[in-house]
A and B are shown apart, each in its own frame.
Chain A
């Protein structure tokens, strides 16, 4: 009996902790996206679509060697998107440090849908 209660306690504690990290607000997401957007250089006529995932340090900087492509994409699209994330991170992104768990891993999908046909 005592063993079962101890096990139950061990199982519940982490679940409660996992549910706690508050997500970023839409405004915070938009602010972050806008920063990256301003650094994403679109080469004319080149398919820029790519989804990339990378880790962040607690001070708001991307971990340079953590970038990976999710799915498939042109190598040049990956490099252009990675450059955008790294270039705008010179002073670190302005993300809420008390909610680091909500953005310690980021996945960005880059499309050119907002600027019309690119090819």
Chain B
């Protein structure tokens, strides 16, 4: 190359730019297809002192997080190159195993604290992917620390914002269908660490996280008329936000700045969408009017628009309006009919998830905010209630099994791939994915 570069320079000096251009033109190739397969990743964590069983537990959580995306597969090469956290990576030996990304790490238990370190390497580029990082957490918080490391690996390789260190609120269901007990629970995104927030005595529905993850709104039937409650996740105390015994209030959703709540209010047989100020919930006002049933509001991430469900056209369809209720525009139509409901605006702003009901069953899907690009992510089942992961790439939803009517939570990638059940022992419905934890 040096010889060629010098020659090109000489030719340019003598002859002008034309021969130089011809000489330097690269071989141009276009590649339009690749392999949609998981990236082979090797995890090499070591005990840096007292880790014991935690070493395996933490490695397993990181592996499960990455495997669960469908984007990665953990590899165990037969002849694993000698590797250590403080050793230089033998890229040549790792290349020979086909591993594309290598994670080295250390786990140490010091008193009641767990220390985790990791480094990520791009094996074929022969260089680190970002700087090494260290996390220290209380011993009982080791799962969160493991999720944080998996989040870093995911973000650095895919370029997406992560979502593993997040929680999901849901309705846990137990008992026979005629006497179903429902209570609000929260769990880690992977189904671990379930914590129940309401008692079995009250019928509850539709939990929704605040943008900071510290509050869960839900609908309670405790007073006999559905009312909206605000629940502090840390202290597990609930406060009623609506109290009018003559009106049913339900389907609440926080605005992206956390200052407002949009909800449905039914009075005298008419359901409209209202908003109330979080700091002053007694101040509430309707933003839709008319005889139609308007419900299930969901804010755009910039807070300027709200998508909702309405039967004003004769069947349930999706509409987008400005946050003050003006300029409602229908966005769902659907080839072959069907009704649409339960819209959820993606935190990225580029898609709206929904439930579509037809004679064949109900499915979840996504469309652009203008209604174009509709894509069903499940078909022919009884799926409903999609909720977005904080990075807007994954959805969680309720799937009703055909035989015993037991609802289960499933997740799916926005492309429709990687459909999988959430590992949760309890029957569950109505999931709401919270924000990425700090």
With contacts A42-B35, A46-B160, A82-B125 taken as known, whether A24 is within 8 angstroms of B28 at the C-beta atoms is no
- Provide the residues of chain B in CB contact with A32, threshold 8 Å: 29
The distance in angstroms between the C-alpha atoms of A95 and B415, with both chains bound, is: 37
Q: In the complex, are the beta carbons of A36 and B122 less than 8 A apart? A: no
Selected contact of A18 from candidates B22, B38, B96, CB within 8 Å: B22
B37 contacts A by Cβ under 8 Å: yes
The distance in angstroms between the C-alpha atoms of A38 and B160, with both chains bound, is: 24
The distance in angstroms between the C-alpha atoms of A106 and B358, with both chains bound, is: 52
- Provide the residues of chain B in CB contact with A75, threshold 8 Å: 159
Contact digits for A80-107, partner B, Cβ 8 Å, 1 yes 0 no: 0011101100100000000001111111
What is the distance, in angstroms, from B231's C-beta to the closest C-beta of chain A? 33
With contacts A41-B39, A44-B417, A82-B125 taken as known, whether A15 is within 8 angstroms of B19 at the C-beta atoms is yes
Chain A interface extent, by class: 35 or more
- Provide the residues of chain A in CB contact with B191, threshold 8 Å: none
A99 (CB) vs chain B CBs: closest residue = B27
Q: In the complex, are the beta carbons of B26 and A105 less than 8 A apart? A: yes
Q: Interface residues of B, CB < 8 Å — how many?
A: 45
B393 contacts A by Cβ under 8 Å: yes
- Provide the residues of chain B in CB contact with A45, threshold 8 Å: 160, 393, 413-415
- Provide the residues of chain B in CB contact with A19, threshold 8 Å: 22
- Provide the residues of chain B in CB contact with A109, threshold 8 Å: 28-31
With contacts A41-B34, A45-B414, A106-B27 known, what are 14 further pairs, Cβ within 8 A? A18-B19, A29-B29, A40-B34, A41-B38, A63-B1, A64-B125, A82-B125, A87-B95, A90-B95, A101-B4, A106-B26, A107-B26, A107-B28, A111-B32
With contacts A64-B125, A83-B124 taken as known, whether A44 is within 8 angstroms of B19 at the C-beta atoms is no
What is the distance, in angstroms, from A8's C-beta to the closest C-beta of chain B? 11
The distance in angstroms between the C-alpha atoms of A13 and B259, with both chains bound, is: 76
**A interface residues with partner B (beta carbon < 8 Å):** 10-11, 14-15, 18-19, 23-24, 29, 32-33, 36-46, 48, 53, 55, 63-64, 74-77, 79, 82-84, 86-87, 90, 101-115, 118-119
With contacts A90-B95, A118-B415 taken as known, whether A53 is within 8 angstroms of B35 at the C-beta atoms is no
With contacts A82-B125, A90-B95 taken as known, whether A105 is within 8 angstroms of B34 at the C-beta atoms is no
B126 contacts A by Cβ under 8 Å: yes
A-B pairs with beta carbons under 8 Å apart, 9 shown: A33-B31, A36-B31, A46-B159, A53-B26, A83-B124, A108-B28, A108-B29, A110-B34, A115-B33
- Provide the residues of chain B in CB contact with A87, threshold 8 Å: 95, 100, 124
- Provide the residues of chain A in CB contact with B34, threshold 8 Å: 37, 40-42, 48, 84, 110, 112, 115
Q: In the complex, are the beta carbons of B31 and A46 less than 8 A apart? A: no
Selected contact of A105 from candidates B22, B24, B33, CB within 8 Å: B24
- Provide the residues of chain A in CB contact with B31, threshold 8 Å: 33, 36-37, 40, 108-111
- Provide the residues of chain A in CB contact with B125, threshold 8 Å: 64, 79, 82-83, 86
Most B-side CB within 10 Å, residue of A33, A43, A63, A103: A43
A108 (CB) vs chain B CBs: closest residue = B29
- Provide the residues of chain A in CB contact with B401, threshold 8 Å: none
The distance in angstroms between the C-alpha atoms of A113 and B403, with both chains bound, is: 41
Q: In the complex, are the beta carbons of B37 and A41 less than 8 A apart? A: yes
Q: In the complex, are the beta carbons of A108 and B30 less than 8 A apart? A: yes
- Provide the residues of chain A in CB contact with B11, threshold 8 Å: 14, 18
- Provide the residues of chain A in CB contact with B38, threshold 8 Å: 41
Q: In the complex, are the beta carbons of B4 and A104 less than 8 A apart? A: yes
What is the distance, in angstroms, from B386's C-beta to the closest C-beta of chain A? 16
Q: In the complex, are the beta carbons of B27 and A103 less than 8 A apart? A: yes
Q: In the complex, are the beta carbons of B160 and A41 less than 8 A apart? A: no
B70 contacts A by Cβ under 8 Å: yes
The distance in angstroms between the C-alpha atoms of A98 and B22, with both chains bound, is: 19
Contact digits for B3-43, partner A, Cβ 8 Å, 1 yes 0 no: 01001001100110001001110111111111111110000
The distance in angstroms between the C-alpha atoms of A90 and B34, with both chains bound, is: 18
Q: In the complex, are the beta carbons of B122 and A79 less than 8 A apart? A: yes
Q: In the complex, are the beta carbons of B27 and A14 less than 8 A apart? A: no
Selected contact of B159 from candidates A14, A76, A111, CB within 8 Å: A76
Contact digits for B395-427, partner A, Cβ 8 Å, 1 yes 0 no: 000000000000000000111011000000000
The distance in angstroms between the C-alpha atoms of A109 and B14, with both chains bound, is: 33
Interface residues of B in 184-210 (CB under 8 A from A): none
The distance in angstroms between the C-alpha atoms of A11 and B413, with both chains bound, is: 61
B158 contacts A by Cβ under 8 Å: yes
With contacts A10-B14, A11-B15, A43-B158 taken as known, whether A33 is within 8 angstroms of B126 at the C-beta atoms is no
A46 (CB) vs chain B CBs: closest residue = B158
- Provide the residues of chain A in CB contact with B4, threshold 8 Å: 101, 104
B60 contacts A by Cβ under 8 Å: no
The distance in angstroms between the C-alpha atoms of A90 and B96, with both chains bound, is: 8
Q: In the complex, are the beta carbons of A15 and B15 less than 8 A apart? A: yes
